[in-house]
Amino acid sequence: MTIVWGDSPLTWQELVQVARHNAELSLSVSAWQRIAQGRAIVDEIVASGQIAYGINTGLGALCNITLPEDQLSQLSRNTLLSHACGVGPLLTREQARAILCAAIANYSHGKSGVSVALVQHLLALLNQQITPQVPSQGSVGYLSHMAHIGLALIGVGDVEYQNQIMPAAQALTLAGLQPYRPGAKEGLSLVNGTPCMTGLSCLALDDAARLLDWADVTGAMSFEALRGQRVAFDAEVIALKASPGMQLSGQRLRALLSDSPLLATSVGIRTQDALSLRSMPQVHGASRDQFDHAARQIETELNACTDNPLVLGTADNWRVVSQANPHGESVAMAADLLAIAMAEIGSIAERRLDRLVNPLVSGLPAFLVAQPGVNSGMMIAQYVAASLCAENRQLAQPAVLDNYVTSGLQEDHLSLGTGAALKLLKLVGNVWQILAIEYLLAAQALDFHGEEQLAQGTAQALRRLRAVVANWQEDRWLAPEIARAVEVLKSGL
The catalytic residues are 53
**CA-to-CA distance for 320 and 323, rounded, in angstroms?**
10
- Tell me which residue of 460, 462, 424 sits closest to 441, measured CA to CA: 462
Residue 249: beta bridge partners? none
| Gyration radius from the chain CA atoms | 26
Residue 258 sits at φ, ψ, to 5 deg, of -60, -30
Alpha carbon of residue 189 to chain centroid:
23
The residues near 231 (Cβ < 8 Å, ≥ 6 apart) are: 237, 267
**CA-to-CA distance for 386 and 400, rounded, in angstroms?**
26
Residue 321: beta bridge partners? 310
**CA-to-CA distance for 196 and 146, rounded, in angstroms?**
7
- The DSSP line for 37-62 is HHHHHHHHHHHHT---TTTSB--GGG
3-state class (DSSP) for residue 90: strand
Number of Cβ atoms within 10 Å of the Cβ of 376? 14
Cα–Cα–Cα angle for 443, 448, 451, rounded to 5 degrees: 70
Residue 450 sits at φ, ψ, to 5 deg, of 95, 135
Cα–Cα–Cα angle for 78, 79, 81, rounded to 5 degrees: 60
Q: Which amino acid type is present at position 101?
A: C
- Tell me which residue of 14, 13, 19 sits closest to 3, measured CA to CA: 14
Q: Which amino acid type is present at position 197?
A: M
Alpha carbon of residue 283 to chain centroid:
21
**CA-to-CA distance for 258 and 252, rounded, in angstroms?**
10
